[in-house]
Amino acid sequence: MHELAIAENIVDAVCERADGRPVRRVTVRIGKLTAVVPRAMLFCFDLATEGTVAEGARLEIEERAGEARCRTCGAEVVLADPILLCPCGSADLAVTAGRELQIVSMEVG
Ligand SMILES: [Zn+2]
């Protein structure tokens, strides 16, 4: 379950920036191609925040669909999961979106 390691990284970064103030809410953007499961992420976030200034904070997840361009046929492909395959059968895709894993905002106070 790599969500726990990711959640710990997010919580570390958030707590550092919060600088001792309580954290109310954290919004993260997660691309579908990261294979991060939002429900697992919420669970791990609660675990990772225990005993920190972010304990009890609400995690909001913005999911970002995967998008890629096929180098073989030129099609723009929307990817619902981390399997990089064009309907034409080619796996030679240039990913343009969906690998995001970032903190978008946080609310302290
Ligand atoms: Zn193609």
| CA–centroid distance, residue 96 to ligand 1 (Å) | 15
The pTM (predicted TM-score) of the whole model is 0.85
Question: Does 27 fall in a domain?
Answer: yes
Instruction: Identify which has the larger pLDDT, 3 or 81.
Output: 3
Closest of 93, 96, 91 to residue 67, by C-alpha = 96
| CA–centroid distance, residue 22 to ligand 1 (Å) | 49
| CA–centroid distance, residue 91 to ligand 1 (Å) | 8
Average pLDDT, the chain: 95
Q: The domain containing residue 25 runs over which residues?
A: 3-65+98-108
pLDDT band at 1 (very low <50, low <70, confident <90, very high): low
- CB burial of residue 75 (10 Å; 0-12, 13-18, 19+): middle
Number of domains in the chain: 1
pLDDT band at 26 (very low <50, low <70, confident <90, very high): very high
Instruction: Identify which has the larger pLDDT, 99 or 1.
Output: 99
| CA–centroid distance, residue 31 to ligand 1 (Å) | 21
pLDDT on residue 81: 81
Which CATH number goes with the domain that contains 21?
3.30.2320.50
